Amino acid sequence: DQQVKQNSPSLSVQEGRISILNCDYTNSMFDYFLWYKKYPAEGPTFLISISSIKDKNEDGRFTVFLNKSAKHLSLHIVPSQPGDSAVYFCAAITSVYNQGGKLIFGQGTELSVKP
């Protein structure tokens, strides 16, 4: 049972355009969401997060939108740059004490930004 789903395995975008990566979740207890970026042969690195009490969080070129009623979040990258080419993982957590730090990850979307 995949609680966090990224239905697009790959996405190709032209440099300078917007990249939109999508993520759906099924567990209504999730209250914190994160995006991680992963380059080949490296570990994932934290990119941006959003609490369920918000519907938008922005950090430079990266914006995450949360639609709780649809159980959907998206990551927007504007403008996209070749260095953004990586695998992006969506992750979710229920931040109650007895859940610990148990992130649930999606399958990942490989973004390719063409010059």
Partner 1 sequence: NAGVTQTPKFQVLKTGQSMTLQCAQDMNHNSMYWYRQDPGMGLRLIYYSASEGTTDKGEVPNGYNVSRLNKREFSLRLESAAPSQTSVYFCASSVLAGEFADTQYFGPGTRLTVL
Residues lying near partner 1 in the complex (CB under 8 A): 4, 6, 9, 31-32, 34, 36, 41-46, 49, 89, 91, 93, 95-108
Q: What is the nearest approach in angstroms of partner 1 to the Cβ of residue 80?
A: 23
Q: Minimum Å distance from CB 101 to partner 1? A: 3
Q: Closer to partner 1 at the Cβ: 4 or 86?
A: 4
DSSP string, the chain: --SEE---SEEEEETTS-EEEEEEE--TT--EEEEEEE-TTS--EEEEEEETT-SEEEETTEEEEEETTTTEEEEEESS--GGG-EEEEEEEE--SGGGTT--EE---EEEEEE-
* Minimum distance of partner 1 from residue 90's CB (angstroms): 9
- Measured from the CB atom, the residue of 15 and 22 that comes closer to partner 1 is 22
| Contact criterion met (CB below 8 Å) for 26 and 73 | no
Nearer to partner 1, 77 or 91 (CB): 91
CB of 18 to partner 1, least distance (A): 24
